């Protein structure tokens, strides 16, 4: 459905991105931020899903600064490789490249951002540091609890699993208490529950989170 395009960040870095277009006039733009596995088949299918819902979806390859064409699966080896590459991508690099995608997506109207796993953390950073966003959605973003000083400047929705070993649910509850104006949801699910290619996939939680996310984007993006 989509195609690969090239984006240019503010510092001149050129990165690839997957772009999926809706059949009719776009309701707006959605930037989809990858997990630590690159812009793989799952992230492309997520972008395709937002395009099917009427949005222009762009998934920037945030690993391109370290290694191009990263497309991993979910084996222990893939996880180790993904963590290694992710460790070399600074928050500043990630926000710059997300910004390039936001700028491109803005041709379709208002722009929201959604990220999964590490991408959820990048969406959290973007909600504070990026310009041109009207809404942000973070799925189980590791790092959010350690960076609560960066409060979102746009409406934010968070999705977390209560069985997530990486993100203590008590911390999530405290975050929800602190960010009363931003909806934060906790599901009976594990880390990565949205990804149907992972063992932690939880169909009911994924469905409910997606419906909530779409409602949120309908309200803020269009």
Residue 164 designated active-site: yes
Strands laid side by side in the 156-161 sheet: 3-8, 14-20, 56-60, 29-33, 111-116, 135-139, 156-161, 184-187
**Annotated catalytic residue within 42, 48, 64, 117:** 117
Distances in Å between the alpha carbon of 220 and those of 58, 70, 166, 213, 217? 18, 32, 30, 11, 5
Question: Would you give the end-to-end CA distance of the chain in angstroms?
Answer: 22
Report the alpha-carbon angle 88-50-185, nearest 5.
75
Catalytic residue among 42, 164, 190, 195: 164
Pick the catalytic residue: 190, 191, 195, 220?
191
CA 113, CA 50: separation in Å to the nearest integer?
11
User: Catalytic positions, please?
Assistant: 117, 164, 191
């Amino acid at each position: 459905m989509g195609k690969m395009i090239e984006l240019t960040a503010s510092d001149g870095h050129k990165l690839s991105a997957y772009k999926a277009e809706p059949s009719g006039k776009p309701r707006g733009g959605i930037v989809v931020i990858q997990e630590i596995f690159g812009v793989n088949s799952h992230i492309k299918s997520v972008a395709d899903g937002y395009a099917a819902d009427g949005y222009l979806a762009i998934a920037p390859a945030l690993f391109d600064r370290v290694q191009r064409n990263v497309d991993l699966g979910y084996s222990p080896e893939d996880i180790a490789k993904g963590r290694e590459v992710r460790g070399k991508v600074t928050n500043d690099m990630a926000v710059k490249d997300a910004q390039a995608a936001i700028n491109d997506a803005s041709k379709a109207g208002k722009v929201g951002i959604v990220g999964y796993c590490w991408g959820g953390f990048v969406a959290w950073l973007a909600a504070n540091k990026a310009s041109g966003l009207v809404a942000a959605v973070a799925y189980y973003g590791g790092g959010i609890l350690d960076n609560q000083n960066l409060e979102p400047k746009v409406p934010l929705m968070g999705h977390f699993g209560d069985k997530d070993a990486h993100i203590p649910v008590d911390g999530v509850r405290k975050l929800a208490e602190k960010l009363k104006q931003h909806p934060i949801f906790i599901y009976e699910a594990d880390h990565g529950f949205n990804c149907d290619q992972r063992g932690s996939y939880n169909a009911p939680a994924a469905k409910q989170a997606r419906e909530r996310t779409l409602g949120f984007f309908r309200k803020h993006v269009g």
